[in-house]
Amino acid sequence: MYGFDQLRAAEITDIGIVLGPLHEGIKDALGDGSKFHVNITYIDQPDPKGIAHAVLISKDFLENQPFIVYLGDNLLKESIPELAEEFTASKPDAMVVLVRVKEPGRFGVVKIEDGKITKLVEKPKQFVSDYALAGVYFFQPSIFPVIQTLKPSWRNELEITEAIQGLLQRGGRITFHEVSGWWKDTGRPEDILEANQLVLRDLKSSIKGKLDEGVLVSGSVEIGEGTHVHRGATIRGPAVIGENSEIGPGAYVGPYTSIGSNVKILGTEIENSIVLDGSVIDCRDRVVDSIIGRNSQIRSNGTQRPSGRRFVVGESTYVSL
Ligand code: G1P
């Protein structure tokens, strides 16, 4: 998990994960965190009332210590250890991470005047600034009394942006850091594919599985333990294949593809796609730009199809072609 790696590098290993009502599979996938070398505590938020509410219900877990909030659907290539160091050294009340965006109305934005934050607005209807809040925030416990004064916003959420604005109005010191690498809010399927590409760009090769003779591997490729790549298959990186998966004879796994564990790719060509654990793809069509949820099956029914179909398939779905 990319986010965990970043947090661990900053020596942040006690991680609270706030789970909303739609959390199927998350506990199964992450467990107690030991496989990522972190300790995970789950904090239930059955009624999702916003990010500031998520922070509020984590108060006991946070034990009156400074903390970082990392939104689960955000990914950024920024050194979290360096940010944490900056925060610890300068001890502001809050430190936010900013990124310039083309559609500021989709985010929380921050107005900066003379190098200082003067205003924060969540999803502004009128232009305020093109500096958006990337989903990484550093706080002192001084944020809690401000959150306690918040009223639900138009979308019925306690907005973290409004909490920081409240902190500012009470004379709190808010510092910022502009993202220099990439940043992705993975709210939409196309964003998830793009985030996958960005992460795979830095992949280092590591082959633990079994490759038959005559398998063609090029570029950076990671293949997990127990995975078997059959004769005549081609893997062109950057690509990741998890554990105990099978890449059938003649199959092609193309660049920017992430395949989970216990997956079977049989006779298929797949590129720029994500296939989650337990899925089977056994079809003659070329699968591109697709996200296949856990335990899904895509099989040919023998009818001719145009190549390059696109899929966004939910968990435990069966698609017959
Ligand atoms: C949330 C925050 C917003 C921030 C964004 C980053 O938005 O409210 O301020 O810019 O995350 O991804 P949401 O995803 O709830 O629309």
Q: Does 172 reside within a domain?
A: yes
Q: Does 121 reside within a domain?
A: yes
Question: Measured in angstroms, how far is the CA atom of residue 108 from the centroid of ligand 1?
Answer: 6
Protein residue closest via CA to atom 8 of ligand 1: 108
Q: Do 174 and 229 fall within a single domain?
A: no
Residue in 140, 11, 17 with CA at minimum distance from that of residue 85: 11
Q: Does 171 reside within a domain?
A: yes
Q: Does 197 reside within a domain?
A: no
pLDDT of residue 209: 97
Residue given tokens 């939104």 in the structure block: 71
Question: Which atom of ligand 1 lies at the shortest distance from residue 187's CA?
Answer: 14
Q: Does 45 reside within a domain?
A: yes
Instruction: Give the structural domain span for 316.
Output: 206-320
Q: How many CB atoms lie within 10 A of CB 288?
A: 19
Q: Do 114 and 215 fall within a single domain?
A: no
CATH at 89: 3.90.550.10
Number of folded domains that form the chain:
2
Q: How many CB atoms lie within 10 A of CB 76?
A: 25
- Distance (Å, rounded) from C-alpha 244 to C-alpha 284? 23
Contact 158, 69 (CB under 8 A): no
Q: 3-state DSSP helix/strand/coil percent for the chain, to nearest 5?
A: 20, 35, 45
Strands 252-253 and 234-236 turn out to be parallel
Q: Which regions of the chain are under pLDDT 70? A: 1, 301-321
Cis amide linkage into residue 238, ω under 30° from 0: yes
Question: Measured in angstroms, how far is the CA atom of residue 79 from the centroid of ligand 1?
Answer: 20
Domain end marker among 151, 185, 219: 185
Residue of 45, 49, 51, 103 with the most ligand 1 atoms within 8 Å of its CB, for mutation: 51
H helices of 70-224, where?
80-90, 143-147, 160-169, 189-200
Question: Which atom of ligand 1 lies at the shortest distance from residue 134's CA?
Answer: 6
Contact 66, 84 (CB under 8 A): no
Protein residue closest via CA to atom 9 of ligand 1: 108
Q: Do 19 and 130 fall within a single domain?
A: yes
Q: Do 106 and 17 fall within a single domain?
A: yes
Residue in 205, 248, 252 with CA at minimum distance from that of residue 229: 248
Q: Do 109 and 9 fall within a single domain?
A: yes
Q: Does 237 reside within a domain?
A: yes
pLDDT of residue 302: 61
Question: Measured in angstroms, how far is the CA atom of residue 76 from the centroid of ligand 1?
Answer: 14
Residue of 133, 155, 188 with the most ligand 1 atoms within 8 Å of its CB, for mutation: 133
Q: Do 56 and 131 fall within a single domain?
A: yes
Question: Which atom of ligand 1 lies at the shortest distance from residue 132's CA?
Answer: 10
Domain end marker among 185, 219, 239: 185
Q: Do 177 and 231 fall within a single domain?
A: no
CATH at 311: 2.160.10.10
Q: Do 251 and 129 fall within a single domain?
A: no
Q: Do 12 and 143 fall within a single domain?
A: yes
Domain end marker among 185, 218, 238: 185
Tokens matching residue 254: 């193309």
Question: Measured in angstroms, how far is the CA atom of residue 164 from the centroid of ligand 1?
Answer: 13
Give 68's contacts (C-beta < 8 A, 6+ positions apart). Answer: 7, 10, 12, 80, 84, 136, 137, 138, 139
Residue of 49, 96, 107, 130 with the most ligand 1 atoms within 8 Å of its CB, for mutation: 107
Contact 272, 288 (CB under 8 A): yes
- State the DSSP H helix or E strand holding residue 240, giving kind and residue range, or none if neither: strand 239-241
| AA identity, residue 42 | Y
pLDDT of residue 187: 74
Q: Do 181 and 210 fall within a single domain?
A: no
Pocket of ligand 1 (CB under 6 A): 51, 71, 74, 107-108, 122, 132-133, 135, 161, 185, 187
Give 195's contacts (C-beta < 8 A, 6+ positions apart). Answer: 75, 184, 186
Question: Which atom of ligand 1 lies at the shortest distance from residue 106's CA?
Answer: 16
Q: Does 194 reside within a domain?
A: no
CA-to-CA separations, 190 to 18, 162, 185, 199, in angstroms, rounded: 25, 29, 10, 14
Question: Which atom of ligand 1 lies at the shortest distance from residue 50's CA?
Answer: 15
CA-to-CA separations, 223 to 125, 232, 251, 265, 274, in angstroms, rounded: 47, 16, 15, 14, 15
Q: Does 190 reside within a domain?
A: no
pLDDT of residue 181: 80
Q: Do 173 and 289 fall within a single domain?
A: no
Contact 168, 192 (CB under 8 A): no
pLDDT of residue 76: 84
Question: Measured in angstroms, how far is the CA atom of residue 99 from the centroid of ligand 1?
Answer: 12
pLDDT of residue 303: 58
Q: Do 164 and 305 fall within a single domain?
A: no
